[in-house]
A and B are shown apart, each in its own frame.
Chain A
Amino acid sequence: MNIDPRLGITGHVLTRAKQQNRSALIGFLPVGYPTVSGSLDAMKALVEGEGIGVDIVEIGMPYSDPMMDGLAIQHATTRALQRGVRIADVFTAVETVAAAGAVPMVMIYWNLVERHGVEAFARDLANAGGAGLITPDLIPEEAEQWVGVSDVHGLDRVFLIAPSSTDERIAMTMAACRGWVYATSVMGVTGARATTSAAAPVIVERARAIDPSIPVGVGLGVSDGDQAAEVGSFADAVIVGSALVKCLIEAERRGSNDMGGLRRLVSDLAAGVRRTN
């Protein structure tokens, strides 16, 4: 058993999946869409699927200026903000996911953490049962305070790498991570794509060669079980976001709060990562 402290909480989830000859499935949903309580139901559906669900829920905190988000996620988070989602709701979502039996992480733009206070945010996240943060607009060079505070509270910190990252930056970024590293597989913002990127296996290979002790999750572009299987064949975790959010948007457009579509997609994705070899 690997008890590398750099695996933190979430890295162990990924290595356990690996021991089952599969990659882990990480599902993203924003808190507050379609409503706060509706988003909590959706996160439970994400954990349960139709029998099998995600390993880790990436809970997104809506932000007024989401630089990395594509149209589907923007659509949802803009409405969540209009409908009054607050920072406190993210901690409720963390508790909900933990109670449902998955590992909760929070994806959050940095100003929201700073405004809450980095120390206070870490304390509240840890108290709610959160495993750590994914910080899309925080690079390790600007993260000195977060690194210290996350050490104190035993939280994971997931930074991003990209196809354009130099080897030096990949090494530096992975050295700053605890848990796993988030590889963005295409140059661009979030959004489901018909084909996943040819750059994805390359960035994963590069990351593994540079720092084999930190698992690699791949995000941006996966929308069904077949793509999940494809990405799962080379990545330690498959991250799905926009495709899940679209299920909620479609349900809202039908005037329904039925989670059936979401559960079906989750199980398709979960079966996909189990088809990997």
Chain B
Amino acid sequence: MTHTMPDSRGHFEQFGGIFVPEALQAAIHELAEVFEAAIHDEVFLAELRDLQLHYAGRPSLLTFAERFSEHCGRARILLKREDLNHTGSHKINNVLGQALLTKRMGKTRIIAETGAGQHGVATATVAALMGLECRVYMGRMDTERQALNVARMQLLGAEVVAVEAGSATLKDAMNEAMRDWVTNVADTHYMIGTASGPHPFPKMVREFQRVLSTETRAQCLEQYGRLPDAVCACVGGGSNAIGMFADFIDSPEVALHGFEAAGDGLQTGRHAASITGGSQGVLHGTRTFILQDDDGQTVESHSISAGLDYPGVGPEHALLAVKGRAIYEPVTDAEAMDAFKLLCRTEGIMPAIESAHALAGARRLALRLAATSPQLSPLLVVCLSGRGDKDVDTAMKWFGIDGVADATTGAFA
């Protein structure tokens, strides 16, 4: 399926496509052509591999989480350590590829949208590396929740623009970036960070994130002599998940599990679970599952994780879901934060809250397997898509930690 999808106009059967204004068609066609040529060009691929190796720090480790696994029935949990990449998440994989494409197209300016700030930071990073002008659009609400990342982008030389429109979150930042792109398309590349948007973005982001599953597959075979029984990833727009699934899609013995942000719970309506709690529609240039009301107006999403707080999902995930090739389940804020704490305390690894959704889902899956198939000792890989440093403020509020020392010593009372 991976190798034939999407078709030349970006359709993953009934999903995907190009639903953007005519003014962008020329840029989209140029991008698709340059991309298709590049991924078959050894010079391009060598340049990308060199950056992955000597700049991003690839390959990322596959770590056996032994003490975390003790809380997961009979499963062995392996962590794909994207948190160890330069800039602290999987987002660097995609931006390195797209930045090289930008240079091939002779464009000098990149724009991006960001929610949590990880894609924005990654974009600002490659802009600095390659000498490109950079502007990042971020919902005003997100600039407040993620002030540290705003500063990081500014330190890297990017201009950060807060978006007041609509709900002032990631989806509105995407609208604003699209408007900028329509206006400045001659010299500007829009570096979409997620596996959604109009064709060729879903395919392009998958191909630049495919390295996750290519490495995992090889590492698993080398270290354990077999493929994993299941691969788990969090799904917002779905870029780490599609990269983590890509090389396993044609291996039916490997189960694929995506975990969506259920926020306060699906039944509350305050969630970001587009597949498990949404319906088919068109958003940001693609037909997929989205959160919408009866009229088709986009409904605001809710998640403790800014990176998953998006009311749509990549079109390939929509197809994998309806085909049953991948299983998508919701994970609440509370479940994710429990897993966040558990990984901190058992492994000394602080995950991004996004990734904590995958950890919580994997643990639930492992416990379910232990109950239904107690004879199995399943091998589960979880994509640890990013590190949690950016989430310390959120975690302090959630756990009621005030940052004050537990005790004082050294003073004569």
Residues of A within 8 A of B (CB): 63-68, 70, 74, 78, 81, 86-87, 110-116, 136-139, 141-142, 159-166, 169, 173, 184, 187-189
Q: Which residue of A lies closest to B11 (CB)?
A: A142
Docked complex Cα distance between A207 and B78 (Å): 59
Docked complex Cα distance between A110 and B280 (Å): 13
B298 at the interface (CB under 8 A from A): yes
Inter-chain contact A139/B22, CB cutoff 8 Å: yes
Q: Which of B12-20, B115-123, B211-219 binds A?
A: B12-20
Residues of B within 8 A of A (CB): 9, 17-23, 25-27, 165-166, 171-172, 175, 178-179, 182-186, 281-285, 290, 292, 294-298
A-B contact pairs, 26 of them (CB 8 A): A64-B166, A64-B297, A67-B21, A68-B21, A111-B290, A114-B282, A115-B281, A115-B294, A115-B295, A137-B282, A139-B19, A142-B18, A160-B21, A160-B23, A161-B22, A162-B21, A163-B23, A164-B27, A164-B185, A165-B25, A169-B22, A184-B21, A187-B184, A188-B23, A188-B183, A189-B183
Inter-chain contact B182/A115, CB cutoff 8 Å: no
Inter-chain contact B281/A137, CB cutoff 8 Å: no
Inter-chain contact A114/B298, CB cutoff 8 Å: no
Residues of B within 8 A of A65 (CB): 166, 171-172, 175, 283-284, 298
List 7 tightest A-B contacts by C-beta distance, closest first. A115-B296, A162-B23, A164-B26, A188-B183, A111-B282, A64-B298, A112-B296
Q: Which residue of A lies closest to B183 (CB)?
A: A188
Residues of B within 8 A of A159 (CB): 22
Docked complex Cα distance between A139 and B290 (Å): 21
Interchain CB contact (< 8 A) of A115 among B9, B184, B292: B292
Q: Which residue of B lies closest to A136 (CB)?
A: B21
Docked complex Cα distance between A111 and B17 (Å): 13
Interchain CB contact (< 8 A) of A184 among B17, B22, B185, B297: B22
Inter-chain contact B295/A112, CB cutoff 8 Å: yes
Inter-chain contact B22/A86, CB cutoff 8 Å: no
Q: Which residue of B lies closest to A164 (CB)?
A: B26
Assess A164 versus B282: contact at CB under 8 Å? Given A64-B298, A67-B20, A142-B17. Answer: no
Q: Which residue of B lies closest to A166 (CB)?
A: B26
Q: How far is the CB of A188 from chain B (nearest CB, A)?
A: 4
Assess A74 versus B22: contact at CB under 8 Å? Given A112-B295, A112-B297, A187-B185. Answer: no
Inter-chain contact A66/B175, CB cutoff 8 Å: yes
Inter-chain contact A188/B182, CB cutoff 8 Å: yes
Docked complex Cα distance between A63 and B166 (Å): 10
Q: How far is the CB of A261 from chain B (nearest CB, A)?
A: 25
Assess A184 versus B23: contact at CB under 8 Å? Given A64-B166, A86-B295, A141-B18. Answer: yes
Residues of B within 8 A of A87 (CB): 295-296
Residue with the greatest number of chain A CB neighbours at <10 A, chosen from B9, B23, B178 = B23
Assess A141 versus B9: contact at CB under 8 Å? Given A63-B297, A67-B178, A165-B26. Answer: yes
Residues of A within 8 A of B165 (CB): 74, 78
Residues of B within 8 A of A111 (CB): 281-283, 290, 292, 296, 298
Inter-chain contact B19/A142, CB cutoff 8 Å: yes
Docked complex Cα distance between A42 and B4 (Å): 52
Residues of A within 8 A of B166 (CB): 64-65, 78
Docked complex Cα distance between A184 and B21 (Å): 10
Docked complex Cα distance between A258 and B297 (Å): 30
Inter-chain contact B25/A139, CB cutoff 8 Å: yes
Residues of A within 8 A of B296 (CB): 87, 111-116
Inter-chain contact A165/B22, CB cutoff 8 Å: yes
Q: How far is the CB of A220 from chain B (nearest CB, A)?
A: 10
Inter-chain contact A187/B183, CB cutoff 8 Å: yes
9 additional contacts (CB under 8 A) given A112-B295, A137-B282, A139-B25? A67-B284, A68-B179, A137-B285, A138-B19, A139-B18, A164-B25, A187-B185, A188-B183, A189-B179
Residues of A within 8 A of B290 (CB): 111
Residue with the greatest number of chain A CB neighbours at <10 A, chosen from B182, B186, B284 = B182
Inter-chain contact A187/B297, CB cutoff 8 Å: no
Docked complex Cα distance between A113 and B297 (Å): 11
Q: Which residue of A lies closest to B281 (CB)?
A: A111
Docked complex Cα distance between A169 and B285 (Å): 18
Residues of A within 8 A of B186 (CB): 187
Residues of A within 8 A of B22 (CB): 139, 159-162, 165, 169, 173, 184
Residues of B within 8 A of A67 (CB): 20-21, 175, 178-179, 182, 284
Residues of A within 8 A of B282 (CB): 110-111, 114, 137
Inter-chain contact A169/B21, CB cutoff 8 Å: no
Inter-chain contact A164/B23, CB cutoff 8 Å: yes
Inter-chain contact B295/A189, CB cutoff 8 Å: no
Residue with the greatest number of chain A CB neighbours at <10 A, chosen from B20, B26, B179 = B179
Docked complex Cα distance between A142 and B186 (Å): 25
Docked complex Cα distance between A111 and B293 (Å): 11
Q: Which residue of B lies closest to A160 (CB)?
A: B22
Docked complex Cα distance between A110 and B298 (Å): 12
Q: How far is the CB of A217 from chain B (nearest CB, A)?
A: 14
Q: Which residue of A lies closest to B284 (CB)?
A: A65
Q: How far is the CB of B143 from chain A (nearest CB, A)?
A: 19
Residues of B within 8 A of A110 (CB): 19, 282
Q: Which residue of B lies closest to A138 (CB)?
A: B19
Q: How far is the CB of A172 from chain B (nearest CB, A)?
A: 10
Inter-chain contact A189/B182, CB cutoff 8 Å: yes
Docked complex Cα distance between A66 and B20 (Å): 11
Q: How far is the CB of A131 from chain B (nearest CB, A)?
A: 21
Inter-chain contact A137/B21, CB cutoff 8 Å: yes
Inter-chain contact A137/B19, CB cutoff 8 Å: yes
Q: How far is the CB of A203 from chain B (nearest CB, A)?
A: 11
Residues of B within 8 A of A64 (CB): 166, 297-298
Residues of A within 8 A of B281 (CB): 111, 114-115
Residue with the greatest number of chain A CB neighbours at <10 A, chosen from B178, B296, B298 = B296
Q: Which residue of B lies closest to A85 (CB)?
A: B295
Docked complex Cα distance between A136 and B23 (Å): 10
Q: How far is the CB of A222 from chain B (nearest CB, A)?
A: 17
Q: How far is the CB of B254 from chain A (nearest CB, A)?
A: 34
Residues of B within 8 A of A68 (CB): 21, 179, 182
Q: How far is the CB of B370 from chain A (nearest CB, A)?
A: 42
Assess A169 versus B25: contact at CB under 8 Å? Given A65-B175, A112-B297, A139-B18. Answer: yes
Residues of A within 8 A of B178 (CB): 67
